[in-house]
Amino acid sequence: MKEFKTESKRILDLMINSIYTNKEIFLRELISNASDAIDKLHFASLTDSKIDSDFKITITLDKQARKLTVSDNGIGMNLDDLEKNLGTIASSGTLAFKKENEDVKELIGQFGVGFYSAFMVAKKIEVLSKAYGSEDAYLWVSEGEDGYDVVKSEKESYGTDITVYLKDNEEGVDYDAYVQQYFVSDLVKKYSDYIRYPIVMDMTKSRKKEGSDEYEEYTEQETLNSMVPVWKKQKSEISDEDYNNFYATTFYDFEKPLRHVHANIEGNVSYTALLYFPAKAPMDFYSREFKKGLSLYCNGVLIMEKCEDLLPDYFGFVRGVVDSSDLSLNISREILQQDRQLKAIAVSLEKKIVSELKKMLEDDRENYEKLFAEFGATIKFGAYNNYGAKKDELKDLLVFTSGKEKKQITLAEYVKNMQEGQSVIYYACGENVDKIDGMAQVERVKSKGFDVLYLKDNVDEFVLKTLDKYDDKAFKSVSDKDLDIGTDEEKQEMEDTAVSNKDLTDFIKEALGNKVSSVALAKLGAHPVCLSYEGEVSLEMEKVFKAMKTASPMPVEAKKVLQINADHAILSKMRDLFNTDHETLKKYANMLYVQAMLTEGFEVDDMSGYFASVCELMTK
């Protein structure tokens, strides 16, 4: 007996002891594997006439032995395949166990532990398989956690038979149902109707005996599924449940997608697309391992499982299938990349996705915001990548938090609600809404009735810089020293105050040295000081570059401006000290600087000096 790999053991354990109520999905998983196995051979059969093209999946029920068998005449597995595929779980599965309390539903959802799900209903599973082109057949047997055996065996033709020996009935779970022909045929119709190969089963029926009143039983093989792939059906024939079922089985994501798009495009290039916007990013979505792509079919025949070229990176989250009769079947992958038709489809798909996302913004805002929370980062990436080559297409898909309303708004909505006399779009960067709310400059801008976009992602400011303008309105950071708000009178007054305090601000600048590039007065409401910047590099950019930790030859630093509130008592206090006690004034200047830095989320080198000053003040 061989042991399962540790991870597989734990998945098995979860399956065997699963209280997951939807145990019936195991059948769909086995059928889907069978269909994949046939797909692999089907593709080869296009160029190899030796392959029997009578592809099918056969279900056999045995009431006495309480067993159900799913057979296929697909590619089959050799000894090595059996060990590798059924002895271990796909490596991505290992990730799952970082989370101790993974729920089975999620597990199946994220990793499609397809084959193993049969252990939800089985006390023993046998897999008899013969690989196409091989002489030998092997039998793999397992009764669950203890492990499995593989022995040499006999099988007439290539393909795989998977036999599930049902568990004993338990309270509330009637495993016998899985050998009842009508129950099983309903399951096939419910979950596997679109499978492209016939799923056949012997059905026992009764009929009147000829020339007599008696009834007799007879057996007839029936094809249970319609075999029409969902995307080939009329939209009116497909329910949301059908769409979602197809999604779940094809992409192993059991969370309902946020939206599906079923489009028949006729034009330069004709194709059918069934696209889904998932509710959750897969675990590896933001890693290098993630592979985007849509399944590509030519007239219902799969030519590529994940065709990357159909999706731009920033729509990499979209899942789905594309079926076109304008593509050649025997095309190789290398040639496919150059294919003009394929490029035309990609261009058209991108447009379709953009328009569908815009529609979603209009008619299903709640789900759009969910989608943006999951995938907004890639859309933003699309907007600033390549010097903003795609910014015009993507700018209307962006949403940011409105400081006024505390909800997500688009740039168009911001502009629509601009106040009279407002000429720019204000934004503020910070870690979270509370912190941004607490910024002096934010309060000030809001006090004028202007809304402020709250930018919480590192990349947000780069995105706005790349857009440069929206609807001819420039973007303006509230931390920009030249915020330039207020009436002409107010501005004049500020200027006068600045002139009469120039000796003081010069002194403070001198005291702070090159920690700041200048010191200025401003109106800051209740806040004594704040930090702003002048020049090209914003405070946020400095933080982003620092966080990247890549040794850049020239540190990217903002030219910081310490702004002191002209209306605050602290100013007259400093004024007094300027006339009486320069040493204390220097200390206070430094304390205010530290406060401003900390409020902005910067680190300060000499914290102990600051604490000493605070204590000194407290004990005075």
Tokens standing for 246? 């197809």
Find the binder of ligand ADP among 28, 41, 68, 72 (CB under 6 A): 72
Strands of 159-166's sheet, edge to edge? Answer: 148-153, 137-142, 122-130, 159-166, 67-72, 57-62, 199-208, 215-223
Give residue 96's identity as a one-letter amino acid code.
A
Q: Are strands 215-223 and 259-265 parallel, antiparallel or unpaired?
A: unpaired
Nearest CA to 326 among 268, 375, 274? 268
- Are the C-beta atoms of 346 and 288 separated by less than 8 Å? no
Least distance CB 72 / ligand ADP (angstroms): 5
Angle 569-580/502-512 helices, nearest 10 degrees? 80
Tokens standing for 203? 């059905």
Of 192 and 408, CB closest to ligand ADP:
192
3-state secondary structure 233-246: CCHHHCCHHHHHHH
Q: Are strands 57-62 and 137-142 parallel, antiparallel or unpaired?
A: unpaired
Q: Rounded CA gap, 177 and 175, in Å?
A: 5
Of 110 and 185, CB closest to ligand ADP:
110
> Does 539 help bind ligand ADP (rule: CB under 6 A)?
no
> Does 120 help bind ligand ADP (rule: CB under 6 A)?
no
Judged by CB under 6 A, the chain residues 180 through 209 that form the site for ligand ADP are none
Q: What is the DSSP letter of 86?
A: I
| Residues β-bridged to residue 294 | 307
Q: Rounded CA gap, 513 and 221, in Å?
A: 90
Q: Which stretch binds ligand ADP (CB under 6 A): 48-56, 111-119, 442-450, 489-497?
A: 111-119
Q: Which stretch binds ligand ADP (CB under 6 A): 1-9, 113-121, 149-157, 548-556?
A: 113-121
CA dihedral 430, 431, 435, 436 (to 10 degrees): 30
Q: Are strands 399-402 and 452-455 parallel, antiparallel or unpaired?
A: antiparallel
Of 85 and 599, CB closest to ligand ADP:
85
> Does 37 help bind ligand ADP (rule: CB under 6 A)?
yes
Helix (H, G, I), strand (E, B) or coil at 400: strand
Of 112 and 403, CB closest to ligand ADP:
112
Of 74 and 430, CB closest to ligand ADP:
74
Find the binder of ligand ADP among 77, 248, 361, 561 (CB under 6 A): 77
Judged by CB under 6 A, the chain residues 577 through 616 that form the site for ligand ADP are none
Find the binder of ligand ADP among 4, 55, 115, 475 (CB under 6 A): 115
Find the binder of ligand ADP among 114, 257, 278, 282 (CB under 6 A): 114
Q: Which stretch binds ligand ADP (CB under 6 A): 27-35, 98-106, 418-426, 486-494?
A: 27-35
Q: What is the DSSP letter of 75?
A: S
Q: What is the DSSP letter of 569?
A: H
Q: Rounded CA gap, 311 and 203, in Å?
A: 44
> Does 460 help bind ligand ADP (rule: CB under 6 A)?
no
Residues in the interface with ligand ADP (CB under 6 A) total 18
Least distance CB 145 / ligand ADP (angstroms): 16
> Does 112 help bind ligand ADP (rule: CB under 6 A)?
yes
Helix (H, G, I), strand (E, B) or coil at 139: strand
Least distance CB 172 / ligand ADP (angstroms): 27
- Are the C-beta atoms of 375 and 317 separated by less than 8 Å? yes
> Does 161 help bind ligand ADP (rule: CB under 6 A)?
no
Backbone angles phi, psi at 62, to 5 degrees: -130, 100
Q: Which stretch binds ligand ADP (CB under 6 A): 85-93, 366-374, 377-385, 397-405?
A: 85-93
Backbone angles phi, psi at 155, to 5 degrees: -155, 135
Of 87 and 525, CB closest to ligand ADP:
87
Least distance CB 148 / ligand ADP (angstroms): 13
Of 199 and 467, CB closest to ligand ADP:
199
Distances from the Cα of 559 to the Cα of 50, 516, 594, angstroms: 75, 7, 16
Q: Which stretch binds ligand ADP (CB under 6 A): 107-115, 146-154, 230-238, 399-407?
A: 107-115
> Does 160 help bind ligand ADP (rule: CB under 6 A)?
yes
Of 119 and 426, CB closest to ligand ADP:
119
Of 70 and 463, CB closest to ligand ADP:
70
Least distance CB 226 / ligand ADP (angstroms): 22
Q: Which stretch binds ligand ADP (CB under 6 A): 31-39, 201-209, 416-424, 531-539?
A: 31-39
Find the binder of ligand ADP among 18, 33, 385, 563 (CB under 6 A): 33
Helix (H, G, I), strand (E, B) or coil at 524: coil
Of 37 and 564, CB closest to ligand ADP:
37
The answer for 227, left when phi > 0, alpha when psi is -120 to 50, beta otherwise, is left
Least distance CB 32 / ligand ADP (angstroms): 7
Q: Which stretch binds ligand ADP (CB under 6 A): 4-12, 82-90, 368-376, 383-391?
A: 82-90
Of 33 and 441, CB closest to ligand ADP:
33
Of 75 and 397, CB closest to ligand ADP:
75
CB within 8 Å of 491: residues ≥ 6 apart: none
> Does 74 help bind ligand ADP (rule: CB under 6 A)?
yes
Q: Which stretch binds ligand ADP (CB under 6 A): 44-52, 84-92, 213-221, 485-493?
A: 84-92
Least distance CB 371 / ligand ADP (angstroms): 25
Q: What is the DSSP letter of 4?
A: P
Backbone angles phi, psi at 68, to 5 degrees: -130, 135
Distances from the Cα of 223 to the Cα of 61, 106, 123, 197, 202, angstroms: 15, 32, 28, 10, 9
- State the CB neighbour count (10 A cutoff) for residue 220: 10
Which residue's Cβ has the minimum distance to ligand ADP?
A: 114
Q: What angle do CA 121, 283, 383 make, to 5 degrees?
A: 145
Find the binder of ligand ADP among 25, 31, 34, 61 (CB under 6 A): 34
Q: Rounded CA gap, 575 and 579, in Å?
A: 7
Q: Which stretch binds ligand ADP (CB under 6 A): 67-75, 136-144, 404-412, 457-465?
A: 67-75
Of 135 and 168, CB closest to ligand ADP:
135
- Contact footprint for ligand ADP (CB under 6 A): 29, 33-34, 37, 72, 74-77, 85-86, 90, 112-116, 160
